[in-house]
Chains A and B, each alone.
Chain A
Amino acid sequence: MTELHRKTVRQLLTDLDNKVFSSVELTRHYLDRIERLDPSLNSYITVLGASALAQAAAMDEARRKGNQPLLAGIPIAHKDIICTQGTKTTAGSRMLDNFIAPYSATLAERLDAAGVVTLGKTNMDEFAMGSSNENSYYGAVHNPWHTDHVPGGSSGGAAASMAAGLCAAATGTDTGGSIRQPAAFCGITGLKPTYGRVSRWGVIAYASSLDQAGPMARTAEDAALLLQAMAGFDARDATSIDQPVPDYMAQINRPVKGLKIGLCQEYFDPGLDPDIKAAVLDAAKTLESRGAIIKDISLPNSQHGIPAYYIIAPAECSANLSRYDGVRFGYRCADPQSIEDLYKRSRSEGLGREVKSRIMVGAFALSSGYYEAYYRKAQQIRRLISQDFANAFTQVDYILGPTTPSPAFKLGEKAGDQVAMYLQDIYTIAVNLAGLPAISVPAGFTKGLPIGMQLIGRHLDEGGLLNVAHQYQLVTDWHNRSPNFGNQQDS
């Protein structure tokens, strides 16, 4: 029998409905595991034991009365960039170490309404800036597959806690790959929805035109269940898409036969780990054997994605993070001598190195005399990249490729090399620039570490992506593998 913390959300819902165990029992199981195992993983910043048990009890009660909502009693964790009313929401920063959110993000409200139990808030790179989770004020997170390795970032805590069985599902945010890359590193399924599909209200901003929250789960089916609750128009977010949310669970059971899947030639470059390349090509064969049509396609401007991203995202963050000035909330330096002193020291002491680096890059790119050469050019590249995808999607329905160029690297390995770190997002970043949906799905292993493959879809085709991923998972078992982490301590 599958251990409790290895069950999918789908299985847990069935067991809860069949009274195999209660949500309170399930929640206690997770809280016990977090208490025992997380000290060696550091995936949580805040654990919400008392309120989680209260939510679980309420959902057990609702289930007794037969009026349980979609995800009643399922223990999840929120990335600590998602505001949850009345609890600390830090964005992984010293700046917000004392910040108690006075409101909840729309996506958190919607998941609450769907009956989830919130176990806590997961660790992350500060303000979602990073690909290794080493940029957290709360310390690095370890990869449960190999604790000397990083879990990826910025949603590293979410991915690690999922893989270690410290929550049943999690939320993440993805600005340049921050859901998909840690999902790939930790062997889970992570979906970045279409920009605007999930409301950004209450999600602390990094780069407003790129940020998008999404589900991180064991399976595509679980991701579909979570997205069902999270997605939808929100009048509090002007960039939210006013389109009905389809029934994702109904969409994932279609056969892949006849679907055209493109292999982007530019993604199979010399920088790609050969094992990952082999795994992705193998996945293409698997889909082909189920009737999908595999085609080669080209995204000629994809090489420009990283430079364009590292202008646009820092430019937006340089403004988004100006509000952290020590005046109204958050960290304030001791004994400020003047307003300039207050600003300088509060920001110097309250923000981490990578964050300050991006703020400076962004401020420079926007400054008088450089705007045309940097920001405007980056926006032009962004349009070219979108056009590349639009062209590709006239030939194919989905684009398949690797999620990352390498498996999880060692803690500290790239700490001194900003560019090497930025290249982690080489396959994921263009998707954010184009605002498209994409999913990372477990597709193999190399040297004991998970491999993720990425599927990219058309605007608002989350249902189609989840469908292909689910059909793939029906005939593979990479997503069912779990690390040995914690097994020695398990009873």
Chain B
Amino acid sequence: MQDWEVVIGLEIHTQLKTQSKIFSGASTAFGAAPNTQACAIDLGFPGVLPMVNEAVYAKAVAFGLGIGADINLVSVFDRKNYFYPDLPKGYQITQLASPIVVGGSVDIILRDGSSKTIRVTRAHLEEDAGKSMHEDYHGQTGVDLNRAGTPLLEIVSEPELSSAEEAVAYARYIHQLVTYLGVSDGDMSQGSLRCDANVSVRRPGAAALGTRTETKNVNSFRFLERAINFEIERQISVLESGGRIRQETRLYDPDKDETRPMRSKETATDYRYFPEPDLLPIHITAAYIDTIRQQMPELPGAKAQRFIDQYDLSAADALALASSVALADYFETVARVGNDAKLAANWVRVELLGLMNRESLSPSTATLTATPLTAEALGTLIARIKDGTISGKIAKGVFVALWTGAATDTDSYIADQGLTQVSDSSALGAILDTIIANNPQQAEQFRAGKTKLMGFFVGQVMQQTGGKANPQQVSELVNAKLMG
């Protein structure tokens, strides 16, 4: 591997979060019965015309501002011509010569802690095609046009990524950014973010790029990493055995963990692009861009920095908690209600994310509101630890009960289950007296100075109270009774 330099460029298609399609009023909702969300415009009927859903402009501009790009004040839709059954008009409306977003860059952070700036070439608006289903139709093909006309922003990077790790870090950042900005819902299981990876290898110092292949439609970060690594190894192995790389489009098969060439008929060679005559050029004013700029939410980097400054968090905690808007908002509510940012950071990052990770859940708005363990509930839990109502150990039990739904409200669960700490000195004293009486040898040794036995007495009390005693209070009582 040391003898080869890897060059990767990514084209990321992100589905824009709009109620209706880019050129029609049909719904973009996922999961409807086939062909129930395709109107005459999506079906490419004779005489229909596209009308741009102007909500897509704000999304594209917000993305452009988010990566420090230039927004083209005039951009143009083009037709990309090819025949395929899931492309109803026989052309896709996209942007070729004048995309809406030009330039910009993102900083990615790698596992070794180093960072790298990746330049973005362009981002353009286009419509999605429908879905062809080759299985289950006995040699025929099923076509579902619900997805046809779904708005996409295609984000094209410069070929500046040097490894699968960098490519994944870049894709994750783009995913985080579009989700943050509300540009996309980022739900990769529904195809909201798909990557095409252009991969080539060359000898270090070579002036020209090697012949590249394009692996299309990879819809998870894990698959992206595997697909790129497979492709790098395949290309090196071909070149080292004296072969040549064919410029071609490939597909990643996760079941076999390999890429393979697409059938040649699925790849057109000449798309005969020309300006879309049914749509006027998009004119965007500086004032419009300013309006979007003022509505921009705090971006991930700025948010993490604020967490460090405002809550005195570690960089690692701040980055983790700022990784999604949903998680960051959740954390800030927990910190406010619990009135302790550090405890809140600890509970959210270690306990909550640990639990979600074990259940393979991502911290989305949906998963964070699906259980009674709301930010308010967790904040209340922290407040109860701080005011001494419950111990940290008890709190973990309440936390799990809230997560599973066994508890629905922090305070009423603590009350109903009798989890309040026993802080009555006389009650604890009586329990301790019995323990001392039953363990005279340990009592004698403690009095003689073997203070390590403190743990023994506290443990006994905790055991007999079911963990509800305050350990600090118990140790004070032990000292008073045996040393006083």
Residues of A within 8 A of B (CB): 83, 89, 91, 96, 99, 101-103, 105, 200-205, 207-209, 235-239, 315-316, 318-319, 322-323, 325, 327-330, 339-340, 343, 363, 366-368, 371, 375
CB of B103 within 8 Å of the partner chain: no
Q: List 4 other contacts, CB 8 Å, given A208-B278, A339-B141.
A: A83-B47, A208-B277, A238-B278, A367-B270
Contact B274 A322 (CB under 8 A): no
Contact A237 B46 (CB under 8 A): no
A315 CA / B90 CA spacing, docked (Å): 14
Contact A318 B277 (CB under 8 A): no
Question: Which residues on B sit within 8 Å (CB–CB) of A99?
Answer: 46
Contact B274 A238 (CB under 8 A): no
Pick the residue among B43, B48, B85, B279 that contacts A238 (CB under 8 A).
B279
Instruction: Name the residue among B44, B48, B143 with the largest chain A CB count within 10 angstroms.
Output: B48
A235 CA / B54 CA spacing, docked (Å): 13
How does the 8 Å CB contact mask read for B45-89 relative to A, with 1 for contact and 0 for none?
111111110000000000000000000000000010101010011
Pick the residue among A83, A103, A322 that contacts B83 (CB under 8 A).
A322
Closest to A99 in B: B46
Question: Which residues on A sit within 8 Å (CB–CB) of B44?
Answer: 323, 328
Residues of B within 8 A of A (CB): 40, 43-52, 79, 81, 83, 85, 88-91, 141, 143, 265, 270, 272-274, 277-280
Tell me, rounded to whole Å, the shortest Cβ–Cβ distance linking A373 to chain B.
14
Tell me, rounded to whole Å, the shortest Cβ–Cβ distance linking B185 to chain A.
27
Closest to B265 in A: A340
Question: Which residues on B sit within 8 Å (CB–CB) of A371?
Answer: 272-274
Contact B274 A315 (CB under 8 A): yes
Closest to A89 in B: B46
Contact B49 A236 (CB under 8 A): yes
Question: Which residues on B sit within 8 Å (CB–CB) of A340?
Answer: 265
Question: Which residues on B sit within 8 Å (CB–CB) of A201?
Answer: 47-49
Pull 6 A–B residue pairs with CB atoms less than 8 Å apart, ordered by A: A201-B48, A315-B274, A319-B90, A323-B88, A340-B265, A368-B272
Question: Which residues on A sit within 8 Å (CB–CB) of B79?
Answer: 319
Are A200 and B49 CB-contacts (below 8 A) given A208-B278, A323-B89, A327-B143?
A: yes
Contact A322 B48 (CB under 8 A): no
Tell me, rounded to whole Å, the shortest Cβ–Cβ distance linking A209 to chain B.
4
A322 CA / B81 CA spacing, docked (Å): 8
Contact A209 B277 (CB under 8 A): yes
A282 CA / B240 CA spacing, docked (Å): 84
Tell me, rounded to whole Å, the shortest Cβ–Cβ distance linking A320 to chain B.
9
Closest to B274 in A: A366
Contact B278 A235 (CB under 8 A): no
Contact A91 B49 (CB under 8 A): no
Pick the residue among B46, B273, B274 that contacts A323 (CB under 8 A).
B46
Question: Which residues on B sit within 8 Å (CB–CB) of A200?
Answer: 49
A375 CA / B274 CA spacing, docked (Å): 9
Closest to B272 in A: A366
Contact A237 B49 (CB under 8 A): yes
Contact A319 B46 (CB under 8 A): no
Closest to A328 in B: B43
Tell me, rounded to whole Å, the shortest Cβ–Cβ distance linking B262 to chain A.
15
Tell me, rounded to whole Å, the shortest Cβ–Cβ distance linking B366 to chain A.
35
Question: Which residues on B sit within 8 Å (CB–CB) of A375?
Answer: 274
Contact A238 B46 (CB under 8 A): no
Instruction: Name the residue among A99, A236, A237, A327 with the largest chain B CB count within 10 angstroms.
Output: A327
Pick the residue among B40, B89, B143, B270 that contacts A322 (CB under 8 A).
B89
Tell me, rounded to whole Å, the shortest Cβ–Cβ distance linking A383 to chain B.
13
Closest to A363 in B: B272
Are A91 and B272 CB-contacts (below 8 A) given A209-B277, A325-B90?
A: no
Contact B280 A239 (CB under 8 A): yes
Tell me, rounded to whole Å, the shortest Cβ–Cβ distance linking B131 to chain A.
14
Contact A204 B46 (CB under 8 A): yes
Instruction: Name the residue among B47, B143, B270, B278 with the largest chain A CB count within 10 angstroms.
Output: B47
Closest to B270 in A: A368
